[in-house]
Structure 1
Amino acid sequence: MIQRRKTKEVQIGDITIGGDNPIAIQSMTKTDTRDIPATVSQILQLQESGCDIVRLAIVNMEAAKAIKEIKKSVSIPIVADIHFDYRLALTAIESGIDKLRINPGNIGDISRIKQVVEKSKERKIPIRIGVNSGSLEKDIYDKYNGITPEGLVESATKHIEILENLNFDDIVVSIKSSDVLLSVESYKLFSQKFSYPLHIGITESGTLNVGSVKSSVGLGILLYHGIGDTLRVSLTSEPVNEILVAEELLKSLNIFQKEKIEFISCPTCGRCELDLINIADAIQKECKSIKKNIKVAVMGCGVNGPGEAKDADIGIAGGKSKAVLFKKGKILRTIDENNIIEEVMKEIQLL
């Protein structure tokens, strides 16, 4: 049983993270934020796919002002990703942003930081401090003779203290690296010192296949240790894929708290006598939008059919150009290979 670390609750739009709240899945748009129609379209796709929070790159004042129009067309909480320019943060807040991702130590002197903090307090906008191994401060890098978990946590501590000294504690923290074990040790060390909610992720993890593996390893370890209040699977791929991988990761650890079909299938072998790979792909695709807490199994033969998948709500076990359809381990009927997808989906809808 996974025991989640107890953290401070933080409100982001209509989503609450930390405490006993569900782990929120995040992604980031890959459009130019200034292109409002394209950005809205991508956010709506993410919403439909199950994303809880989405982040936008705010590269200049035009992008910061675009938030106001974008917010009119979407319901998901929006995070403004800002580097260095405090004025972009102030404009993003005025435009209705739900959360800032900004490192206070990088936006100028204390008077500028204070302006952002006061405006955030006024609008109840939380701030995510995002420490990244690729941009660790030089003095900390030199102190630890390189990038270490201790150095990354010290960097996060420095930014936290800036905000706390201004009586601001509506804080979320991320400590990311492309190195899986460095990320894990950094998050573990941080969680021993602070109770702020953590946004976890393996940054620059790679393309769909490679990045899914690296992210699942790193995030899986952290989640198993009860660490993580929000997460992002960062992929060089369409953003919707980040949501699909994140959902499967949470489901595999039994901590996915939304209604969603759990899909299992065997890898196939020489015993399989039908086109199981394409059948499995098609059924999984059809199941993506169905919100039911059920398990669906697609198995290649009787060896790992109703027996190994007997707890599935609906499943098939392949034969020669046909399959048996079973429910909770009990065989219902035999169906022709050409009708498998239609018959399985019909039974799922009846549940």
Structure 2
Amino acid sequence: MQRNQTRSLQLGRVVIGGSAPITVQSMTNTRTDNVTGTVAQIRRLLDAGCDIVRVAVPDMAAALAIEQIKLAVDVPLVADIHFDYRLALAAIERGVDALRLNPGNIGNPEHIAMVVEAAKKQRIPIRVGVNAGSLSKEMLAKYGGRPTAQAMVESALSHIHILEKHDFFAIKISLKAHAVPLTLSAYQLMSETTDYPLHLGITEAGTVRSGAVKSAVGIGALLAQGIGDTIRVSLTGDPVEEVRVANEILKSLGLKQAGPTLVSCPTCGRCQLDLIPIAEIVEDKLKFVTKPITVAVMGCIVNGPGEAKEADVGIAGGKGEGLLFSKGKIIRKIPEAELVSALFAEIDKLIKEEI
């Protein structure tokens, strides 16, 4: 899959854009000044495969907490700031790795210059982010009173031009809407307009189930066109789920190897064992496996070692029993009650053999 060529920028120890791998981001939902809780959540995000973490900075207490958070975790940290230049300056002084900040929202040109110069001095990138729901009244009026792709791109460019006037070019861009078609149009238009790296996402996507679907459709469609350098799946739920969904999107497009891939059949009238709870148990247990292996859970011999022959290891159901197989070759028959334990014993064996 060929990606659009964008500029590359350094965000802490992570490179975004250019030929660098697509990165996964999430955002903590703890109070940032609750250092203990925030650090604990960041560590969970890292364990799930997160590359970059954003924290909200609504006040000075949150900005000052960044220093302690940075001492406790080794991950690029982005400060999410709106309007107040003092919070941006404090976050930079405390060692943050990037800002999510629209310079036009600061207002005072002197204050904008102070933030940009501080970011330039510390080599800190700035993400310009435009959401369809927060376009200015003037921009909406210009485009018929409703958010359009053109309005979103023009709004983002207005902020970008402010940064460029200060000779600042370490910029990445996001253009998010909760409507998938609008999001697609906005990113497509921006990718034709500039070569700054793009941060993809569907904002306010919904709960874990519905939001995962919308995000997979929207983010996946853009990535399949070669658009996008870093992604966040925005879900109403545990941020760890955002990371898991994001990594599944990348894995499904062959853009990342991150932990195991589960292959499981939808079941049909041939299935003679209760496969659904077995598949759910396997999926849950696989969360703790980091090896990029393919595991199959199939309902019958038709969809077993045959169709899933590429799986590193798998099980296929029968009547009260099943087959344990690897790379299409049957290892042995196993009673239904022992299928999951036998499968994970084989996974453990496979991992140890490859260490």
TM over 0.5: yes
Aligned runs of 1:196-235 on 2, under 5 Å?
Answer: 196-235=196-235
Give, in whole Å, the separation in 2 of the partners of 1:202 and 1:214.
Answer: 7
Aligned runs of 1:221-260 on 2, under 5 Å?
Answer: 221-256=221-256, 258-260=257-259
Corresponding residue SS for 1:197: coil
Q: Indicate the residue corresponding to 1:295 in structure 2.
A: 294
Give, in whole Å, the separation in 2 of the partners of 1:195 and 1:114.
Answer: 24
Q: Indicate the residue corresponding to 1:282 in structure 2.
A: 281
Corresponding residue SS for 1:324: strand
Q: Is the 8 A contact 2:52 2:75 kept in 1?
A: yes
When structure 1 is superposed on structure 2, of 336-345 and 169-178 the one drifting more is 336-345
Q: Indicate the residue corresponding to 1:8 in structure 2.
A: 7
Q: Is the 8 A contact 1:262 1:295 kept in 2?
A: yes
Q: Indicate the residue corresponding to 1:162 in structure 2.
A: 162
Q: Is the 8 A contact 1:86 1:108 kept in 2?
A: no
Q: Is the 8 A contact 2:251 2:258 kept in 1?
A: no
Gaps of 5+ in 2: 351-355
Give, in whole Å, the separation in 2 of the partners of 1:231 and 1:259.
Answer: 15
When structure 1 is superposed on structure 2, of 273-282 and 113-122 the one drifting more is 273-282
Letter aligned with residue 89 of structure 1: A
Letter aligned with residue 9 of structure 2: V
Q: What is the deviation of 1:30?
A: 0.7
Q: What is the deviation of 1:259?
A: 4.2
Give, in whole Å, the separation in 2 of the partners of 1:66 and 1:294.
Answer: 39
Give, in whole Å, the separation in 1 of the partners of 2:310 and 2:203.
Answer: 37
Corresponding residue SS for 2:40: helix
When structure 1 is superposed on structure 2, of 284-293 and 154-163 the one drifting more is 284-293
Corresponding residue SS for 1:5: coil
Give, in whole Å, the separation in 2 of the partners of 1:293 and 1:69.
Answer: 33
Gaps of 5+ in 1: none
Q: What is the deviation of 1:302?
A: 1.2
The answer to whether the aligner puts 1:262 opposite 2:261 as a matched pair is yes
Query: Cα deviations across residues 194-214 of structure 1 (Å, max 9, x unaligned)?
Result: 000000000001011110111
Residue identity (%): 54
Letter aligned with residue 212 of structure 2: S
The answer to whether the aligner puts 1:21 opposite 2:20 as a matched pair is yes
Q: What is the deviation of 1:247?
A: 1.0
Query: Cα deviations across residues 245-279 of structure 1 (Å, max 9, x unaligned)?
Result: 111111111111x3421111112223222232222
Give, in whole Å, the separation in 2 of the partners of 1:120 and 1:128.
Answer: 12
Q: Indicate the residue corresponding to 2:121 in structure 1.
A: 122
Give, in whole Å, the separation in 1 of the partners of 2:248 and 2:123.
Answer: 32
Aligned runs of 1:1-351 on 2, under 5 Å?
Answer: 2-145=1-144, 146-256=146-256, 258-351=257-350
TM-score by length of 1: 0.97
Corresponding residue SS for 2:309: coil
Q: What is the deviation of 1:141?
A: 0.9
Letter aligned with residue 260 of structure 1: G
